[in-house]
Amino acid sequence: MIATRRGTGRIYLAFALLLALHFYVRPRIWDGRAAPDFLALGLILFALRTRPGVAAIVGFLVGLLADTLTPARFGANALAHTVLAYTAAWGRAVFFPDNLLVNAGLFAVGIWVRNVLVMLLSATPVAQLGPELLVWAPLQALSTAVAGVVVVFVLRDWFAIRLEA
């Protein structure tokens, strides 16, 4: 369901909360390559509640923010986050975002695909691709999916989600 005016404020507030979690809480609790990515999680949650065009623009801006903070080639995160947001918003028509297990799957697959895109667009050496894509990306996808399920469960009223197990 596309966000209403009243729900839009809650979505932006939830996105700001996840931004704070990403930059202030995450480094103090769990710093590493397998740590949950609250920035991308917020982007996916935002994209699931908005139109694909709006989601792509926000994804591009989030990707630019991530590009300024990571050593990957500039533009890799912008493109990967734009694709992630657009496909998540478009996928709302295919998947049922009110199911908790579907949300967990969307979070995990979205993070893994985003990591694959960033690695390929960053011209990562072939020797590093295997461990990154087969070990660290799935671990980060799993930790983000678990964190995403907790966030969705806690903020289900903000997103007007009727959870079905």
Q: Which domains does the chain have, with CATH numbers?
A: 5-159 (1.10.1760)
Q: Is the pLDDT of residue 2 over 60?
A: no
Q: What pLDDT was estimated at residue 5?
A: 61
Residue 32 dihedral angles phi and psi, to the nearest 5°:
165, 180
pLDDT grade for 49, boundaries at 50, 70 and 90: confident
Q: Is the pLDDT of residue 162 over 80?
A: no
Q: What pLDDT was estimated at residue 3?
A: 46
Q: Is the pLDDT of residue 1 over 50?
A: no
Q: What pLDDT was estimated at residue 39?
A: 92
DSSP class of 56: H
By mean pLDDT, which of 49-53, 108-112, 153-157 is the weakest? 153-157
CB 26 within 8 A of CB 35: yes
Q: Is the pLDDT of residue 163 over 90?
A: no
CB 86 within 8 A of CB 59: yes
Mean per-residue pLDDT of the chain:
85
Q: What pLDDT was estimated at residue 146?
A: 95
65-119 per-position pLDDT tens digit: 889 887 768 899 999 999 999 999 998 777 766 788 888 999 999 999 999 999 9
Residue partners of 26: CB distance under 8 A and separation at least 6:
35, 36, 38
DSSP string, 10-35: HHHHHHHHHHHIIIIIHHHH--STTS
Q: How far apart are CA 80 and CA 140, in angstroms?
A: 16
**55 vs 19, which has greater pLDDT?**
55
Q: What is the pTM of this model?
A: 0.85
Q: Kindly report the CA angle at 15 between 101 and 31, in degrees rounded to 5?
A: 80
The average pLDDT across 50-55 equals 92
CB burial class (10 A; 0-12, 13-18, 19+) of residue 41? buried
